[in-house]
């Protein structure tokens, strides 16, 4: 195993489960000082043990900017810098257009859009030239998947942030990119698919490679975008979806 992130400081929101946890484990194996957030303390504690390598968990909700600030206050005390930010936390909700209420709009956009804004903004004072930001998008941001227009739109906003922030931060030498998974075998999606077996069958058929992705497959793409191996890639959206968006 390489050590591309030896002594780098990495902040991952939503790092106690799914793609966030898989990514945190890979960063830690490659030598990073890993900090993760999660809303539930028990799940967060379990994740820190699973990650090992001195990982630190800071309980918080990305929809609360004070919680996000507390993450970076802890990192500042420990290291005075952040080298990589993976803005991963978000929610997935299937809700048809005629059923959308204020609460659905607020919960989706607070988690998937507002949370991303403040995760990146509040890291900036600790970031120097050569630092990287990876945003967790989705192929849903480029497609009109039925019954989830709020989610689709929230991920389209994430894609737009990468373009805008690449220009905003170019003078500071900070790169911003998006990793956009397709359907991925996480607890969040599994709980939905188990109740809708016909949806899972249709989803698998829509993917040229014929299956859901694994969290580690997304995590490896995140590490690539965060590393010097992608040093001339900026404002880009990397689909990790078995070909679903392209074919």
Residues 144, 154, 61, 106, Cα dihedral to 10°: -100
Residue keyed to tokens 């990793």: 179
What is the Cα–Cα distance from 74 to 139, expressed in whole angstroms? 33
Q: Which of 35, 72, 92, 151 is catalytic?
A: 151
Cβ neighbours for 38, distance < 8 A, ≥ 6 positions apart:
14, 15, 16, 17, 44, 47, 57, 59, 60
Cβ neighbours for 186, distance < 8 A, ≥ 6 positions apart:
17, 18, 19, 215
Query: Does the annotation count 192 as an active-site position?
Result: no
Q: What is the pairing mode between strands 56-59 and 33-38? A: parallel
What is the Cα–Cα distance from 24 to 108, expressed in whole angstroms? 24
Question: Measuring CA to CA, which residue among 162, 131, 137, 86 is closest to residue 228?
Answer: 131
- Sign of the CA dihedral with 134 first, then 216, 242, and 187 last: negative
Catalytic residues: 151
């Amino acid at each position: 195993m390489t050590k591309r992130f030896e002594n780098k400081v990495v902040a991952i929101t939503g790092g106690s489960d799914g793609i966030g946890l898989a990514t945190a484990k890979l960063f830690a194996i490659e030598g990073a000082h890993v900090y993760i957030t999660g809303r539930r303390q028990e799940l967060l504690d379990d994740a820190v043990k699973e990650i090992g390598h001195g990982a630190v968990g800071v309980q918080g909700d990305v929809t609360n900017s004070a919680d996000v600030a507390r993450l970076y206050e802890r990192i500042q005390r420990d290291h005075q810098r952040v080298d990589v930010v993976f803005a991963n936390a978000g929610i997935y909700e299937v809700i048809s257009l005629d059923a959308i209420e204020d609460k659905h709009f607020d919960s989706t956009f607070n988690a998937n859009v507002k949370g991303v804004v403040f995760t990146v903004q509040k890291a900036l004072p600790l970031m120097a030239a050569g630092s990287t930001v990876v945003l967790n998008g989705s192929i849903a941001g480029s497609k009109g998947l039925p019954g989830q227009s709020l989610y689709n739109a929230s991920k389209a906003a994430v894609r737009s942030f990468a373009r805008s922030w690449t220009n905003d931060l170019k003078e500071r030498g900070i790169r911003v990119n998006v990793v956009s998974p397709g359907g991925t075998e996480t607890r969040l999606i599994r709980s939905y698919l188990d109740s809708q077996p016909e949806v899972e069958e249709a989803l698998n058929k829509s993917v040229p490679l014929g299956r859901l992705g694994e969290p580690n497959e997304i995590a490896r793409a995140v590490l690539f975008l965060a590393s010097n191996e992608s040093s001339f890639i900026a404002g880009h959206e990397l689909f990790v979806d078995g070909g679903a968006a392209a074919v």
